[in-house]
Amino acid sequence: MTETIAFVTGANRGIGREISRQLAAKGVLVIMGARERDRGEKAVAEMKAQGFSAEFVHLDVTSQPSVDHAAAEIERRHGRLDILVNNAGVALDWVPASELTADAFQETFETNVFGAFRVTRAFLPLLRKSKRGRIVNVSSRLGSLSINADPNNSLAVRNQLLAYSASKAALNMITIHFANLLRGTGIKVNSGNPGFTATDMNRHTGKKTVEQGAATPVRLALLPDDGPTGGAFSDEGPEPW
Ligand code: NAP
């Protein structure tokens, strides 16, 4: 049987590293993208020490040459890609909207929106060579317009992450557009919400473990051929846009 090949961005720590581990535990060859070579190679070495198939590819999602180089490298090594997980992300704005700077807003979009778009676009030709391509955009309930628009929703009331939330709403639109574009090709595109997970991003205040946070993105990465496309999901089921 042909091996399934996945590429995970921001795979050196947090949810991305755990997504990589869970995919590898299912027999997937995981290519781990990281912007710091040392940290990426260390994460790959840890996977290999556990007996998993893993490779390293350097990737900074904010750099078009870096993204193009990563796509060319995976094409050279494998000639195709079955699963793309757009996981790399930042949350820089833990302040009320009135105190958010345009620079922090822009920097957030550079990674969470343009980064995911750049990577999706660059890797689409390789995904088209797969028999069953899957794209998972690691999103967040904070990106839900309907939740944020509900004044009685406790998450909306507490939410002080305008740039991050807007970036995940934009990422969800990327999910919808690529899902519509690729409908009928066999390539499925979905947003996966990990839930509030203890990682460096929130100084480990999240309530879920990385094992729990990675579960939904992994499930979407391994969707069967009759699975959904163009949706947002958490471990509770479909999520509101
Ligand atoms: P994390 O521990 O801070 O990890 C973020 C990862 O993204 C790191 O590997 C980081 O690499 C990488 N990254 C950031 N900018 C990058 C760039 N320009 N190019 C390549 N890689 C880059 O955060 P996390 O909690 O695991 O978050 C992973 C994803 O889950 C994010 O998209 C986040 O928005 C989403 N999410 C998290 C939660 C949560 O509660 N934690 C909830 C919902 C959604 P470096 O090590 O080089 O910085």
Whether the CB-CB separation of 96 and 157 falls below 8 Å is answered with no
pLDDT given for residue 175 in this prediction = 99
pLDDT in tens, 176-197: 999 999 999 999 999 999 999 9
- Write down the pLDDT at residue 104: 98
Distance 90 CA to ligand 1 centre (A): 5
> What's the gap in Å between 201 CA and the centre of ligand 1?
7
Task: Tell whether the model's pLDDT for residue 220 goes beyond 80.
Answer: yes
> What's the pLDDT band for 221 if we cut at 50, 70, 90?
very high
Residue 12 pLDDT greater than 90, yes or no: yes
Instruction: State yes or no: pLDDT of 1 exceeds 90.
Output: no
State whether the beta carbon of 60 lies less than 6 angstroms from ligand 1. Answer: yes
Q: Please choose from 9, 12, 15 the residue to mutate so as to test ligand 1's pocket, defined by most ligand atoms within 8 A of CB.
A: 15
What percentage of the chain has pLDDT greater than the value 90? Answer: 99
pTM of the model: 0.98
pLDDT value of position 2 = 73
Buried b (16+ CB within 10 A) or exposed e, 60-97: bbbbeebbebbbeebeeebebbbbbbbbbbbbbbeeee
- pLDDT for 124-159, tens place per residue? 999 999 999 999 999 999 999 999 999 999 999 999
Per-residue pLDDT at 29? 98
Q: Is the pLDDT of residue 161 over 70?
A: yes
CA of 116 to the centre of ligand 1 (A): 12
Residue-averaged pLDDT of the chain: 97
Least confident of 1-5, 6-10, 62-66: 1-5
- Give the tens place of pLDDT for each residue, 225-235: 999 999 999 99
Which residues are known to be catalytic?
164
Which residue owns the Cα nearest ligand 1 atom 31? Answer: 89
Q: 15 in ligand 1 pocket by Cβ < 6 Å?
A: yes
CATH of domain 5-238: 3.40.50.720
As a dihedral over the C-alpha atoms of residue 67, residue 217, residue 129, residue 171, rounded to 10 degrees, the angle is: -50
The domain spans of the chain are 5-238
| Ligand 1 mutation target, pool 37, 113, 139, 201, most atoms within 8 A of CB | 201
